[in-house]
Amino acid sequence: MTRARLSAVCVGLSTSGCAGVQSIAPSAGAHTSAFNSLFVVFLVVCGFFYLLVIGFLGAAILRRRRQGEDGVPALFRVWVGLVSLSLVGLALASWLTDRAMASYGDKGPPVRIRLTANQWWWDVEYLGANPSEAVRTANEVHLPIGRPTLIELQSNDVIHSFWVPNLAGKQDLIPGRTEDIALLPRKIGVFRGQCAEFCGAQHAHMALTVVVEPEAQFRSWWRQQQAEAPAPRTPEQLAGMTYVTTRECATCHAIAGTTASASVAPDLTHIASRKTIAAGTLPMSRGGLYAWIADPQGVKPGAHMPYIGLEARQLDAVVAYLETLK
């Protein structure tokens, strides 16, 4: 491969990550915009000084130093002044950006969410103004565009890290502590968040889907999530519900409106309305449900979802029921 072609490949590879559903550029939120602007300021100032230093170095190499010359104190003073001013400027820009990223402006009351990290999934609670508005879901967050969101971050076990690069910087979740992160989504779309702190065998399969949508669509999603699970309509769905709410599943999962109310695993009340299952590991589809329930340890080794060993008929019924939980 020629040197030119190799360079083109390197540039292509290094910039190919700069787009898409899990990327800081182009940003989809006010906080990443602030951060990206700071990045450009640092790049320009540091690039300028880098070129200046290289220029001076080149000049010094090319120019034979005259004997007896005792330096250039005036130029040196200018140099020190320039560097000091730039450092103060960069520190100020950093501080201002930090302040901007800690606030969410005055665009009305924020959507408040409590996000609890677990090995290896995200528990999502929408904290409404009153208990009847509260919503519990998992691994998927819906946000209205243009409205600030304040997320409380907690961990149930080890250190994880919240990172939705299109919307905000990283924030670690440390057991025993509550951290806050503010978001202000400015672009409609589906974005991918990813745990950004190594947290065990399935760290890579700990994704969070973030759906930014118009206010009206968000409201209707929120109302739908507040509802109890729909009742089964066929004998097979009823058999599935009976299994899920009285056997192994009910020791960990909850389904609002049924007797299943445990909270150590993802809430299943509206599982079929989500885009993925097992924290982004499989698509939410009939095939995904079959694969996950039949062999969770084959799909995500080490996950807390155990192998249950359902008979084919039971598996069909459980999947048929879960598919109705929109």
Q: In angstroms, what is the minimal distance from the CB of 155 to ligand CUA?
A: 8
Q: In angstroms, what is the minimal distance from the CB of 194 to ligand CUA?
A: 8
Q: In angstroms, what is the minimal distance from the CB of 205 to ligand CUA?
A: 9
Cβ pair 149, 109 in contact under 8 A = no
- Give the torsion through C-alpha atoms of 293, 295, 296, 298, to 10 deg: -160
Applying CB under 6 A, the residues found at the interface with ligand CUA are 117, 120, 160, 195, 197-199, 203, 206
Supply 250's token pair: 């009910």
Q: In angstroms, what is the minimal distance from the CB of 169 to ligand CUA?
A: 16
Tell me if residue 75 falls in helix, strand or coil. Answer: helix
- Complex with ligand CUA: residue 97 or 209, whichever CB lies closer: 209
**Closest residue by Cα to residue 283 from 140, 116, 114:** 140
- Complex with ligand CUA: residue 153 or 325, whichever CB lies closer: 153
- C-alpha span between 250 and 258 (Å, rounded): 10
Q: In angstroms, what is the minimal distance from the CB of 181 to ligand CUA?
A: 15
- Complex with ligand CUA: residue 210 or 315, whichever CB lies closer: 210
- Complex with ligand CUA: residue 97 or 155, whichever CB lies closer: 155
- Complex with ligand CUA: residue 170 or 247, whichever CB lies closer: 170
Supply 252's token pair: 């960990």
